[in-house]
Structure 1
Amino acid sequence: MLMLLTGCGDRPQKSDVGPADGTAATQPEQPSGAAREIERRLADGAAGEPALPKTELADLQQLYQPGHHTPLWFDTSRKLTPAADQALALLGAAAAEGLDPAEYGAEALATQVRSMKEARQPVDADVASLDLALSRATLRYLRHLHAGRIDPKTVGFQMPAKAAETDFAAALRPALEKQRLEDAVAQLRPPLEQYRSLRAMLARYRTLASQPAPAPLPAVPRELKPGEAYSGAPALRERLVLLGDLPVDTPPLADGGRYDGALVDGVKKFQARHGLPAEGVLGKGTVAALNVPLDRRVRQIELALERLRWFPHLENRPFVGINIPMYRLWAGGPQALDGRTALDMDVIVGGALDTETPAMVEEMRYVVFSPYWNVPTSIVRKEILPALARDPQYLVKHEMELVRGGGDDAAPVEATPENLEQLAQGQLRVRQRPGQKNSLGPAKFIFPNDDSVYLHGTPAQQLFDRSRRDLSHGCVRLENPLALAQWVLRDQPEWTKERIEAAMGGGEQVKVDLKQPVQVLLFYITAMVAPEDGALHFADDIYGHDKKLDQALAERRT
């Protein structure tokens, strides 16, 4: 699964501030005039127009170390090195990474480089200006490539500050000395197979979006079942071939006005990739998804790449990942998100209106079998107290009890009118006893976090039949808690399947600490190459996070 998310590769740490390892020749000393000009501008903070953010100025000052301000992109004869052309190619192709070449002044830099190459005797100020401009743009590109353009906290994602722990100058300096900028790119590009897969899909969908847009498919007045007439059948075949849901060599339709045969199979594949019931029924939702402009799909992929750049360094150990808008969980080793999964399953996540499941990276530390459910105060206030007003037997019917004080060993008290008044005042709480009616199902999986979110089972298995599953109060409900329990306890042989099943149905709460914590990543991307089939899947932006990120990126350009 992590392959979906992780891969190999080390990034330079902030402590890595020394020069290269000596495998390349040291830059010869340059004319002192350009060096002094670079030193002066860096000291004055005037290394860019408009003024650089403090982080980018610090990157530049780190790159041109004190006492070593000789130009980095020129040789001893004041000729631009091959690295300058490499930088232009890199910045000009930034869109391949889902980045914007305009953010790095790619066109203006290309003009400056051409002018410099034509100059017979470039002056010190021009050499310093171009050298700093190339350094500034390349460092910015590397920072964006590695950690993203937007601070995730500004758009509601509590991810660690990835860029703060990375020394971008330490990656660029040896690449310049070796005249191999691709070395720095390889070091700082997100080492996730999912990133590489989405990057390839971005190129494919950009090509598709550049072609003349096909006419929208005709609307369907009602759901069409296989075998029924549909005037848009020929156009539907073309659309499915274009998107890869039908093979290119699919024979022409025997009956051009009928929805059947290969068309149904192609629609089922398309539906599975777009979070729709893969039943082959052609309804309004499926036609609407087929008619989504391809440039919008391109944007979904670009936004997914941006969020993947926010991911912290994921260690080479077991991992559980949940993509919130796709209602899907994967578990396995470091490559679990890349197709090498130990298990995968459907999940239910928090509701889109006011109980969203937050994105986070945490450590799963223990499992609780046959858990009590300590009902949150908000649910007591909004749901249980009104239910008790209608039915005084509500607690009994749902195997709930009133308790005083914290902890699972708190003693229950009678549901008298006086105690119900104390419940309304927040002096008592409600918990649900272990059992078949328990809202947490047979197990919960705990990764301590500030939002009190965890994974758990559910007695309402019928909800997994729905295609849209943002139905919980914020926690994540599991389709198969037994399978996840077996996997997280696989290195604790005393916990056999039979013992786990007995603990799940025993009626007494049992806590099991994990000998090795498991990484848990709750993430949010609406375009993803799914590990189970290797196909590109799209999801609805159920929480509006894509819209917020798109707006934040647009504001950078204004």
Structure 2
Amino acid sequence: MKLTQQLGVALALCAAVALVPGPTLAQTAPAPSSRADIRALAIQASHARVAPSGPYDERGWLERFYAPRKYAPAWNASTAAAALWVLRQATVQGLDPADYDADALQRQLRAGAAGTARFDVALTSAMLHYLADLRVGRVRSEYHTKLPDARLKQYDPVERLRTGLAAGKLRAAVQAAEPPLRHYGQAKAALAHYRELAGQPYPALPAPSAKVVPGGAYPAAKELFERLVLLGDLPADAAAPADGVYDERMEEGLRHFQARHGIDDDGVLGRGTVDALNVPPARRVKQLELTLERLRWLPDVGPGPLIMVDLPAYRLWALENSGDEAPLEMRVVVGSAVKTETPLFVGQMRYLEFNPYWNVPRSILEKEILPKIARKPGYLAQNEMETVPPNASTADLKAGRARVRQRPGAKNALGAIKFAMPNPMDIYLHSTPARGAFERTRRDLSHGCIRVEHPAALAQFVLGRQRQWNADAIQDALQPGPTRHVDLARAIPVVIFYATAIVDSDGSPRFVADIYGRDASLQQELAARRGRLAAAADKPQAARLPLAVAAR
């Protein structure tokens, strides 16, 4: 299913929220006998002695929500039904309705609990948590290590829920909470598609006894064809193959499948490809849910040029964050999973260097360069390297009184251009003379910096607002010559993130290996959080109370 079809599924679900009836002033009329109980519960939540373990501290939210309305109940049967519909649709966002006690609250509503203090406060708490989870994620990320998450000042769930409820616009409050990133909408649409596939399990394809090339025999050719059509790698109107024959038409679909699953796209049907074809859609659903969680972590960067790098997908996108134009997309090489993982962070690209020097990091000097100098005294000269200051001794290098750099030229590790985004880790984007690395399916090969496949195209994107830098000027600057420093007219955010499921610019979902093992660790964090919520809800007298109160 292409992105346009996937978006249709997601947008249909979003549109359904708009049909939920909104409250009127008469519908939210106060129930005087409940005010004292609501106030007591709200105050209890504010003073609960529970240290926040996630990205936000909600202990004052209920007081801020109810105090302006003098602790009058917020929900009646109609508005409560609307809110519960929203919570039960949390799966659309890759969230779990159980985290918000949606089913239990639904049962209480059917039993006539609307208007009671405990139900009112519990539903308010559930909605506040849902909006906050949707805005900033459920667990603390590497992008936001301090509380409270600054984004909840720009998007205050208390104010959003209060105004959305008063105006009958719960849908607007939910939509405003979603990350305004193209990739988020695409991943949400892909999730809807793979949930649909997960509801129709398919049998495993048999592994061939030997690799099969086009024209070769494969007894399950018909089933393979159907699988490729189902997954969107062949068009629905493609001609079915002859019985038991893996033909050239199927090869085209298999290459497409291999490319978007991080497999060498040679069109050969082997055991590895069949294993990928047999991965249950439910596992892809989990990957997409983790992607949506990670995209919720990303800081707000606002409109304008944006560069995003997905480490396990070995992909870079350069796009206008507020526009609809197709992004520039290219392959990248990232830090080695064994020694030098590329960190997750958001940088600001501030300048370029054409024909840059490579200043060898201290870690590489000690671990790699000095041993090579010891084995081969002429190593620096042979690799166009020099010491700073000139002619420094090995003792000076070891003691840190001198450093090594590589001169611009054909051997320079950074190639012809460096895209600088100053940061304490000294991570940046750059070109490379080692072009063959981009043809490999696994590309975690660097010391941590990111090598880009099409440096000239990226430079044109980055310098696009500076008229003197057209394509010809960039090509001239890329030719061998002196180092040239070019400041950007405006810094460009560079988001380095991690997702093993993402959607390509052509609308095809891409699933890749978890090279840094981050999927497993995130699943553990989310499972631990779910366990804490379940334990809190199981305490005596705690069911359906706000989470901070229930956990007290």
With normalisation by structure 2, the TM-score equals: 0.86
Instruction: Using the TM superposition, give the Cα deviation of residue 335 of structure 1 relative to its aligned residue in structure 2, in angstroms.
Output: 4.8
**Aligned-partner SS, 2:103:** helix
Q: Which range moves more in the overlay, 468-477 or 288-297? A: 288-297
| 2:230 aligned partner, one-letter code | L
Change (3 A) 1:159 1:127: closer
Q: Which range moves more in the overlay, 441-450 or 34-43? A: 34-43
Which of residues 93, 102, 105 is equivalent to 2:101? 105
Could you tell me which residue of structure 2 aligns to residue 413 of structure 1? 391
Instruction: Using the TM superposition, give the Cα deviation of residue 194 of structure 1 relative to its aligned residue in structure 2, in angstroms.
Output: 2.5
Instruction: Using the TM superposition, give the Cα deviation of residue 492 of structure 1 relative to its aligned residue in structure 2, in angstroms.
Output: 2.0
Could you tell me which residue of structure 1 aligns to residue 43 of structure 2? 43
Which of residues 356, 368, 371 is equivalent to 2:353? 368
Q: Report matched runs for 1:314-325 at 5 Å.
A: 314-325=301-312
Which of residues 280, 287, 292 is equivalent to 2:267? 280
- Aligned equivalents of 1:485, 1:28: Cα separation in 2: 56
Could you tell me which residue of structure 1 aligns to residue 63 of structure 2? 61
1:269 matched to 2:256? The reply is yes
Q: Deviations over 1:400-427 (max 9, x none)?
A: 01113xxxxxxx225xxxx112212332
Instruction: Using the TM superposition, give the Cα deviation of residue 171 of structure 1 relative to its aligned residue in structure 2, in angstroms.
Output: 0.6
Could you tell me which residue of structure 2 aligns to residue 530 of structure 1? 504
Q: Deviations over 1:524-549 (max 9, x none)?
A: 11111211x11111111111111111
| 1:536 aligned partner, one-letter code | P
> Is the 2:142–2:344 Cα contact (8 Å) retained in structure 1?
no
Which of residues 296, 299, 309 is equivalent to 1:312? 299
Could you tell me which residue of structure 2 aligns to residue 251 of structure 1? 239
Could you tell me which residue of structure 2 aligns to residue 73 of structure 1? 75
> Is the 1:227–1:260 Cα contact (8 Å) retained in structure 2?
yes
Change (3 A) 1:230 1:159: farther
1:260 matched to 2:234? The reply is no
1:340 matched to 2:326? The reply is yes
Q: Deviations over 1:43-63 (max 9, x none)?
A: 233799999988223222221
Could you tell me which residue of structure 1 aligns to residue 548 of structure 2? none
Could you tell me which residue of structure 2 aligns to residue 189 of structure 1? 178
Q: Report matched runs for 1:156-171 at 5 Å.
A: 161-163=150-152, 165-171=154-160
Could you tell me which residue of structure 2 aligns to residue 491 of structure 1? 465
Could you tell me which residue of structure 2 aligns to residue 425 of structure 1? 399
Q: Report matched runs for 1:453-532 at 5 Å.
A: 453-531=427-505
- Aligned equivalents of 2:218, 2:514: Cα separation in 1: 30
- Aligned equivalents of 1:158, 1:434: Cα separation in 2: 45
- Aligned equivalents of 2:147, 2:40: Cα separation in 1: 39
Which of residues 87, 91, 111 is equivalent to 1:91? 87
Could you tell me which residue of structure 2 aligns to residue 403 of structure 1? 388
Which of residues 300, 323, 327 is equivalent to 2:287? 300
Could you tell me which residue of structure 1 aligns to residue 33 of structure 2? 33
Change (3 A) 1:398 1:107: same
Change (3 A) 1:205 1:48: farther
**Aligned-partner SS, 2:485:** strand
- Aligned equivalents of 1:507, 1:332: Cα separation in 2: 30
**Aligned-partner SS, 1:113:** helix
Change (3 A) 1:46 1:65: closer
Q: Which range moves more in the overlay, 534-543 or 238-247? A: 238-247
> Is the 1:155–1:549 Cα contact (8 Å) retained in structure 2?
no
**Aligned-partner SS, 2:418:** strand
Change (3 A) 1:495 1:28: closer
Instruction: Using the TM superposition, give the Cα deviation of residue 371 of structure 1 relative to its aligned residue in structure 2, in angstroms.
Output: 0.7
**Aligned-partner SS, 1:199:** helix
Which of residues 125, 145, 166 is equivalent to 1:136? 125
> Is the 1:352–1:542 Cα contact (8 Å) retained in structure 2?
yes
- Aligned equivalents of 1:527, 1:236: Cα separation in 2: 23
Change (3 A) 1:339 1:279: farther
- Aligned equivalents of 2:504, 2:431: Cα separation in 1: 23
**Aligned-partner SS, 2:132:** helix
- Aligned equivalents of 1:454, 1:306: Cα separation in 2: 25
Instruction: Using the TM superposition, give the Cα deviation of residue 67 of structure 1 relative to its aligned residue in structure 2, in angstroms.
Output: 6.3
> Is the 2:155–2:177 Cα contact (8 Å) retained in structure 1?
no
Q: Which range moves more in the overlay, 350-359 or 490-499? A: 490-499
- Aligned equivalents of 1:464, 1:52: Cα separation in 2: 44
Instruction: Using the TM superposition, give the Cα deviation of residue 507 of structure 1 relative to its aligned residue in structure 2, in angstroms.
Output: 3.2
Q: Deviations over 1:109-131 (max 9, x none)?
A: 112112226xxxx9xxx711111
- Aligned equivalents of 2:89, 2:43: Cα separation in 1: 32
Instruction: Using the TM superposition, give the Cα deviation of residue 519 of structure 1 relative to its aligned residue in structure 2, in angstroms.
Output: 1.7
Which of residues 390, 394, 397 is equivalent to 2:379? 394
Instruction: Using the TM superposition, give the Cα deviation of residue 290 of structure 1 relative to its aligned residue in structure 2, in angstroms.
Output: 1.0
Q: Report matched runs for 1:229-240 at 5 Å.
A: 229-240=217-228
Q: Deviations over 1:334-386 (max 9, x none)?
A: 157x6622x32211111111211122222111011111101011111111122
- Aligned equivalents of 2:429, 2:304: Cα separation in 1: 20
User: RMSD over aligned Cα, in angstroms?
Assistant: 2.8
**Aligned-partner SS, 1:248:** coil
Q: Tell me the percent identity.
A: 45
Instruction: Using the TM superposition, give the Cα deviation of residue 157 of structure 1 relative to its aligned residue in structure 2, in angstroms.
Output: 12
| 1:557 aligned partner, one-letter code | R
Which of residues 483, 491, 516 is equivalent to 1:543? 516
Change (3 A) 1:355 1:49: closer
Instruction: Using the TM superposition, give the Cα deviation of residue 453 of structure 1 relative to its aligned residue in structure 2, in angstroms.
Output: 0.6
Question: Which ranges of structure 1 fall in alignment gaps of 5 or more residues?
Answer: 4-22, 75-79, 405-411
- Aligned equivalents of 2:46, 2:490: Cα separation in 1: 50
Change (3 A) 1:46 1:168: closer
Q: Which range moves more in the overlay, 287-296 or 152-161? A: 152-161
**Aligned-partner SS, 1:212:** coil
Q: Which range moves more in the overlay, 286-295 or 29-38? A: 29-38
- Aligned equivalents of 2:322, 2:147: Cα separation in 1: 23
| 1:268 aligned partner, one-letter code | R
With normalisation by structure 1, the TM-score equals: 0.85
- Aligned equivalents of 1:301, 1:252: Cα separation in 2: 31
- Aligned equivalents of 2:386, 2:469: Cα separation in 1: 31
Question: Which ranges of structure 2 fall in alignment gaps of 5 or more residues?
Answer: 5-22, 532-552
- Aligned equivalents of 1:158, 1:71: Cα separation in 2: 30
- Aligned equivalents of 1:231, 1:265: Cα separation in 2: 19
> Is the 2:42–2:121 Cα contact (8 Å) retained in structure 1?
no
Instruction: Using the TM superposition, give the Cα deviation of residue 98 of structure 1 relative to its aligned residue in structure 2, in angstroms.
Output: 0.8
Q: Deviations over 1:61-98 (max 9, x none)?
A: 22112562111113xxxxx3x21001111112211211
- Aligned equivalents of 2:96, 2:395: Cα separation in 1: 59
**Aligned-partner SS, 2:58:** helix
Instruction: Using the TM superposition, give the Cα deviation of residue 491 of structure 1 relative to its aligned residue in structure 2, in angstroms.
Output: 2.3
> Is the 2:28–2:74 Cα contact (8 Å) retained in structure 1?
no
Could you tell me which residue of structure 2 aligns to residue 377 of structure 1? 362
Could you tell me which residue of structure 1 aligns to residue 112 of structure 2? 116
- Aligned equivalents of 2:225, 2:67: Cα separation in 1: 61
Change (3 A) 1:227 1:29: closer
Instruction: Using the TM superposition, give the Cα deviation of residue 31 of structure 1 relative to its aligned residue in structure 2, in angstroms.
Output: 3.5
- Aligned equivalents of 2:412, 2:148: Cα separation in 1: 32
